[in-house]
């Protein structure tokens, strides 16, 4: 299978979200971050969303609708994460990863949307 640039982005994003999804469950540092952000009640939901999104991006190589839905969902999740970090005054540098993943998954989503239209 030949991989295009967008395919490499999909792989990178999927592995990242699988990693961060697992951290949401097992990392004490991540648990502390959710407490600091005052959203500890959403930690499990966010972790599940990250895992499902990462798995969906992988399944999307075989069933494209999963790539479409996962990239859209992860874009929304990361946009909300970016807004949250700005609201808690984390500053631009600490907020940059969530902005990066928002833009990355939005790019994947709109690339797929462009192919459909």
Q: pLDDT digits over 52-111, tens only?
A: 999 999 999 999 999 999 999 999 999 999 999 999 999 999 999 999 999 999 999 999
**Cβ atoms within 10 Å, residue 40:** 13
pLDDT for 1 beyond 70: no
Q: Which domain holds residue 106?
A: 5-116
Is pLDDT of 117 > 80? no
Residue 46 CB neighbour total at 10 angstroms: 18
The total number of structural domains in the chain stands at 1
**What ranges in 1-117 are assigned the alpha helix state H?**
5-26, 28-36, 43-59, 64-87, 91-116
Q: In Å, what is the CA distance from 22 to each residue of 7, 36, 42, 90?
A: 23, 19, 14, 23
């Amino acid at each position: 299978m030949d991989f295009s640039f967008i395919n490499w982005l999909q792989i990178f994003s999927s592995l990242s979200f699988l990693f961060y999804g697992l951290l949401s469950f097992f990392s004490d540092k991540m648990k502390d971050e959710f407490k600091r952000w005052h959203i500890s009640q959403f930690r499990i939901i966010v972790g599940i969303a990250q895992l499902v999104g990462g798995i969906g991006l992988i399944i999307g190589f075989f069933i494209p609708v999963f790539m479409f839905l996962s990239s859209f969902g992860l874009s929304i999740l990361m946009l909300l994460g970016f807004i949250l970090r700005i609201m808690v005054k984390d500053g631009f540098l600490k907020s940059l990863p969530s902005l990066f993943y928002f833009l990355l998954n939005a790019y994947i989503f709109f690339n797929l949307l462009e192919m459909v239209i």
